[in-house]
Amino acid sequence: VASFFMQLFFPDIHRFKDPDAALPEIALYVGGKLFQSIFLCTTFVNTLASGLASHASVSRLLYVMGRDNVFPERIFGYVHPKWRTPALNVIMVGIVALSALFFDLVTATALINFGALVAFTFVNLSVYNHFWRRKGYNKTWKDRFHYLLLPMVGALTVGVLWLNLEATSLTLGLVWAALGLLYLTYLTRR
């Protein structure tokens, strides 16, 4: 609904100074300077909260991978004795996050798009594999709808997005995936 009304009010993106960052201009047009200021402050606070939540969750994920010896346990499995947090992981994630200062929005989005499409593809295929194949929920029409048709439609929809993925996203994502596979090969051969 929001996209429909946005298209009605702003049918041509060329009227914006920067089409990739049009939201502040739209906020100014919709509600004036005060609304634009509130909108930008709210966006900043939300982005900060999202970044902190991501930072904490990635630090914990690295801790679990260190504890399970996927990464060196001495570094990644370390828990600070006083704070009981994976302090080294928090610092490392912070350093990596600072590298985002050198990415433009297009490059960052390219990395995120590839990862998101991989995740959504496997979510759909996992529903089919877990319920249809392993659990045997394939007897009734309801089962066929929920555990065969819907996951396949989801996977095909994501497939259309794969076909329209920018070359930058595909290249960066494939390089990242190749590095991950090389590391996995190294881990399984030691």
Residue pLDDT, tens place only, 113-169: 888 999 999 999 999 999 989 999 888 999 999 999 999 999 999 999 999 888 888
Q: Which two tokens stand for residue 53?
A: 């939540």
pLDDT at site 113: 86
Share of residues in the chain with pLDDT > 90 (%): 58
Distance CA 10, CA 22 (A): 10
Distance CA 108, CA 102 (A): 10
Q: Are the beta carbons of 142 and 183 closer than 8 angstroms?
A: no
Helical ranges in 128-166 per DSSP H: 141-144, 150-163
Per-residue pLDDT, averaged over 14-25, amounts to 83
| Averaged confidence pLDDT in the chain | 90
Contacts of 176 (CB under 8 A, 6+ apart): 111, 114
More confident position, 32 or 105: 32
Distance CA 162, CA 33 (A): 39
pLDDT digits (tens, 9 = 90+) for 43-52: 999 999 999 9
pLDDT at site 69: 87
- DSSP labels, 81-92: TTT-S-HHHHHH
- The answer, yes or no, to whether residue 189 has pLDDT greater than 90, is no
Distance CA 59, CA 7 (A): 40
